[in-house]
Structure 1
Amino acid sequence: MLRKKEFDFFKAMEHLASDGLEASHALNHIVTEFDSEHWTQKSEQVHQIENDGDDDVKKIMHELYISFITPIDREDIVQLTDKLDNIIDGIDGLTYEFAYLNIQEMRPHTKEFIDLICEAVEAVQQSVKEFSHFKNSKTLNQNIENANHIESLGDDLYTKNMAILFSEEKDPINVIRWQKLYASFEKVLNACEDCADVMTGLVIKNS
């Protein structure tokens, strides 16, 4: 009798990380080509990626339940999977915020935030790709450090743009809108840093 092929948890988490990268690229396209009349259709791509990510998470959790042996501790797989899912959820949440906050145009420097998000998500994706052979990887630590550095750049950009918002914006509704959005941009970057920090801890634990 043929044995069932062993589930590859590392590959599954790689796929989830790639979902996050795809979602960040879709968000970048929405912001770069922002059109208040038609951008909601473009958001559907992000929503679909988020749904696919949820399916990935469910598959990983199911396999954890039925698998006898896992490559690293089950709780570690759950933790890393959850952190990867948070990145996708954060990006997807931004598209909904654009809608309910009734954003009609992007403020200056918004693209800088999105570029940082794309870079941070890519650093996470590359880290997850290397994670399965962390003992011999020559690039894992650098990718993790990149994610942390990008989050620091995001903190600086957040502080700068919040100062500009409160000093120059005269419409109090716009202040509320963009205060919320800036916080959500930073939340995605924080999610990337959280994921990178988890990988650092798991490398130390399993070395």
Structure 2
Amino acid sequence: MVLSRFMPKNPQFSVLFTQQARIAAQTAQALCTLLQDYTEVEAKVQAIRDLEHEADRLSKQLVEVLSQSFIVPFDREDIIQLIEHLDDVVDDIEEAARKLVLYRVRQPSPQAATLAEIVRQQAEVLAQGMPLLESAGRYGELRQLMEQVRQLEDQGDQVSDEVQVGLYDGVTDVPGMVAAMRMGEILALLESAIDQAQRVAKTVENVMLKNA
């Protein structure tokens, strides 16, 4: 018997997780906007960093709510993993954006915009699913949403394979090699963000399995 099913729960969890996923989607959208219109780069990257700070604030708030809650809607370990993985999505996006400035990238590769759009869609789907975490009667709908996240990760894997094949095409000198390596690092961060979103989905699936 799961005691938490029969005792009051703290509604802040689903609300804050939804907000955290929406911040991830906004951060990815901000990166998409930058990559589609690669102007005023430093200002746009600063806006992304501001969103990352808001994500950190939400993560800390979730940890505080968890520490103050005697009854929680599902396992504390799963709550902690959700907090960490959602925060990691935003951290990876922000780090990719920061390195566009740090490495003085003149023009990002087209795959960067594609990967940013994939993680944006993942975060939007996660934001749709978070309010359903405490509604066992809607777990069928939630499973479908998490499957969408998984399918988007598959798309990201395909793009990543294309990157590996063509990253150094046409590179004939040392500066070109350095630029390609740096872009590869940025793309790897976006791939990591996609993987982190999938880890969120996997944790949600674990919650459903334990509470169905």
Confirm or deny a common fold (TM above 0.5).
Answer: yes
Counterpart of 2:70? 68
Counterpart of 1:126? 128
Counterpart of 2:83? 81
> Closer, same or farther in 2 for the Cα pair 1:86/1:134, shift >3 Å?
farther
For the residue of structure 2 that corresponds to 1:176, the secondary structure is helix
* Candidates 16, 41, 62, aligned match of 2:20: 16
Counterpart of 1:201? 206
Deviation at 1:120, TM superposition (A): 1.7
Write out aligned runs for 1:163-178 (5 A): 163-170=165-172, 171-178=176-183
Counterpart of 1:31? 35
Tell me, yes or no, if structure 1 residue 181 matches structure 2 residue 183.
Answer: no
For the residue of structure 2 that corresponds to 1:102, the secondary structure is coil
Which deviates further from its counterpart, 126-135 or 59-68? 126-135
Say if 1:134 and 1:140, in contact at 8 Å, map to a contact too. Answer: no
Deviation at 1:49, TM superposition (A): 1.2
In 1, distance between residues paired with 2:131 and 2:185? 32
Which amino acid letter does the alignment assign opposite residue 109 of structure 1? Q
Percent of residue pairs identical: 20
Say if 2:26 and 2:120, in contact at 8 Å, map to a contact too. Answer: no
For the residue of structure 2 that corresponds to 1:167, the secondary structure is coil
Which runs of no fewer than 5 residues in structure 2 stay unpaired?
1-8
Count of equivalent residues: 201
> Closer, same or farther in 2 for the Cα pair 1:110/1:7, shift >3 Å?
closer
Deviation at 1:114, TM superposition (A): 1.9
Say if 1:7 and 1:63, in contact at 8 Å, map to a contact too. Answer: no
Say if 1:151 and 1:190, in contact at 8 Å, map to a contact too. Answer: yes
Counterpart of 1:49? 51
Which deviates further from its counterpart, 192-201 or 163-172? 163-172
Which runs of no fewer than 5 residues in structure 1 stay unpaired?
none
Runs of 4+, deviation exceeding 6 Å: none
Counterpart of 1:95? 97
Which amino acid letter does the alignment assign opposite residue 115 of structure 2? F
Structure with bigger RCO (C-alpha 8 Å, 6+ apart): 2
**TM-score for the superposition, normalised by structure 2:** 0.88
In 1, distance between residues paired with 2:78 and 2:112? 35
Counterpart of 2:42? 40
CA RMSD of aligned residues (A): 1.8
Say if 2:23 and 2:51, in contact at 8 Å, map to a contact too. Answer: yes
Which amino acid letter does the alignment assign opposite residue 15 of structure 1? Q
